């Protein structure tokens, strides 16, 4: 399996269940099954913009991940992002991907509601605003304050903390793939961090 742009190494990974949910069919998939599934249904994702906030809840820094893109060879910046597994609650998926990308002591403060700040539809064909060459993905997006220490994990080379106005500068947004620069700018405007 080649390394892909948005950290899909969790595919096929088993995970522990939150009580009181039963340990049911864990949705394990071989690569063939994964490929087949991606051609049949939209795949549900969660995406998160990790931020530092002040005592008033205002965003002071935005955390962007630096990754090597296997498809293009160049470095890209990305959000925390990953699939919701079969049987997994959205909150569990969100925490799992935050810990996967930011480390176990990032101490994210998850939103009280799972109603997302934005819904993004990535299509596998060209000519769309949001694009994912691998699949049709629908992502529920959140802005998540983190209060602990973050360290890059998995395939992320680095976490960069930028001021909001730096994060939406054209140089940075251009380093994001599939339309995520546009998503980032919208989410930061949603929380009032940029005009």
Give the footprint of a copy of itself on this chain (CB under 8 A): 18, 20-22, 24-25, 27, 29, 33, 36-37, 39-44, 51, 53, 55-59, 83-92, 95, 109-119, 121, 123-125, 127-129, 136, 138, 140, 143, 145, 179, 182, 185-186, 189-192, 195
The 3-state DSSP class for residue 81 equals strand
User: Nearest 5 degrees, angle CA 46-CA 24-CA 48?
Assistant: 10
Nearest alpha carbon to residue 95 among 114, 120, 69, 77: 114
Identity of the residue, 14 or 158, whose beta carbon is nearer to a copy of itself in the bound complex: 14
Cα 2 to its chain centre, rounded Å, is: 19
Give the residue with the Cβ less far from a copy of itself, 156 or 184.
184
| Residue 140 C-beta: closest distance to a copy of itself, Å | 7
- Pair of tokens at residue 78: 């990305």
Q: What is the closest distance, in whole angstroms, from the C-beta atom of residue 184 to a copy of itself in the complex?
A: 11
Q: What is the dihedral of CA 59, 61, 67, 69, to 10 degrees?
A: 50
Q: How far is the CB of 157 from a copy of itself (least distance, A)?
A: 27
> Least distance to a copy of itself from the beta carbon of 114, Å?
5
Nearest to 102 by CA among 65, 69, 139: 65
The H or E element that residue 36 is part of is helix 31-38
Q: Quick one: which of 39, 14, 18, 43 has its CA closest to 139? A: 43
The smaller minimum CB distance to a copy of itself, of residues 14 and 58, is found at 58
**Strands, E, within 123-180: which ranges?**
137-145, 156-162
Shortest reach from residue 5's CB to a copy of itself, in Å: 19
CB of 68 to a copy of itself, least distance (A): 25
Q: Would you say 14 or 21 has its CB closer to a copy of itself?
A: 21
DSSP label of 117: S
**Cβ-based nearer residue to a copy of itself, 73 or 127:** 127
* Nearer CB in complex with a copy of itself: 54/158: 54
């Amino acid at each position: 399996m080649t390394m892909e742009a948005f950290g899909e190494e969790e595919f096929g990974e088993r995970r522990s269940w939150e009580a009181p949910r039963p340990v049911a069919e864990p949705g394990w998939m071989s690569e063939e099954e994964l490929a087949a599934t991606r051609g049949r249904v939209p795949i549900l994702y969660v995406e998160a913009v990790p931020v530092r906030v002040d005592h008033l809840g205002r965003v002071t820094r935005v955390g962007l991940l630096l990754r090597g893109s296997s498809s293009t060879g160049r470095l890209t910046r990305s959000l925390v992002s990953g699939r919701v597994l079969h049987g997994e609650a959205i909150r569990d998926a969100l925490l799992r991907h935050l810990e996967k990308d930011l480390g176990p002591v990032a101490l994210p403060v998850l939103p009280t509601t799972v109603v997302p700040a934005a819904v993004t539809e990535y299509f596998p064909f060209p000519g769309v605003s949001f694009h994912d060459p691998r699949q049709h993905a629908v992502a529920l997006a959140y802005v998540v304050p983190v209060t602990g220490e973050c360290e890059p994990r998995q395939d992320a080379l680095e976490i960069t903390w930028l001021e909001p106005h730096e994060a939406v500068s054209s140089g940075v947004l251009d380093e994001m793939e599939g339309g995520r620069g546009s998503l980032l700018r919208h989410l930061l405007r949603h929380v009032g961090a940029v005009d």
